[in-house]
Amino acid sequence: MKKKILIIISIVIILLILGYGSIVYIDYHNVVNGKLPIFANYSEDGRYQGLGYTVEVTYYPDTDIIEEMKMKLFGKIIAGMVQDIEKQNENQENQEIVSIDNGNIQNENKIDAFIDKGDNREADILQIHIISKDKTDNMTVEFVPGTYDETSFKESENTVNRQVPRTVTTEEEYEEIYGYYKITVNGEETGRYDGLRWHMKRVTKDNTVQVIIEPYLMEVTEFPVICEYSLESSNYEQKFELAYMARKDMGVKKIAEENQFDNLDFGVYTIAGDVSITIEGDMVYSLEDALTQGVITVQDIIEQAKQDEKYGFCEEAYYSDGGSTEYRYVEYTILKYNTLDGNKDLVIGMQGMIINQVNASGYKTE
Range of the domain at 205: 114-233
CB 189 within 8 A of CB 183: yes
Using a 10 angstrom Cβ sphere, with 0-12 exposed, 13-18 middle and 19 or more buried, the burial of residue 265 is exposed
Do 245 and 360 lie in a common domain? yes
Residue 149 is predicted with a pLDDT of: 66
Cα–Cα distances in Å, from 130 out to 39, 108, 142, 199, 285? 12, 13, 17, 21, 42
What are the helix (H) ranges across 68-131? 85-94, 109-119
Do 141 and 61 lie in a common domain? no
Residue 315 is predicted with a pLDDT of: 94
Do 228 and 261 lie in a common domain? no
Q: Tell me if 308 is assigned to some domain.
A: yes
Residue 25 is predicted with a pLDDT of: 81
- pLDDT tens for each residue of 57-104: 887 776 666 778 888 888 788 777 776 655 555 555 445 789 999 999
Residue 45 is predicted with a pLDDT of: 67
Do 228 and 251 lie in a common domain? no
Do 142 and 86 lie in a common domain? no
Do 11 and 89 lie in a common domain? yes
CB 275 within 8 A of CB 287: yes
Phi-psi region of 277 (alpha: psi -120 to 50; beta: other; left: phi over 0): beta
Do 224 and 259 lie in a common domain? no
Do 83 and 118 lie in a common domain? no
Residue 113 is predicted with a pLDDT of: 94
Do 332 and 222 lie in a common domain? no
CB 267 within 8 A of CB 254: yes
Q: Tell me if 260 is assigned to some domain.
A: yes
Any bridge partners for residue 269, and if so which? Answer: 254, 347
CB 290 within 8 A of CB 332: no
Q: Tell me if 251 is assigned to some domain.
A: yes
Q: Tell me if 298 is assigned to some domain.
A: yes
Cα–Cα distances in Å, from 169 out to 161, 250, 264? 19, 47, 49
Do 69 and 147 lie in a common domain? no
Residue 159 is predicted with a pLDDT of: 45
Residue 155 is predicted with a pLDDT of: 41
Those residues of the chain that have pLDDT short of 50 are 93-94, 152-162, 166, 366
Residue 160 is predicted with a pLDDT of: 45
Residue 300 is predicted with a pLDDT of: 93
Residue 87 is predicted with a pLDDT of: 55
Q: From 86, 83, 84, 85, select the one nearest 70 (Cα to Cα).
A: 83
Q: Tell me if 17 is assigned to some domain.
A: yes
* Number of domain units in the chain: 3
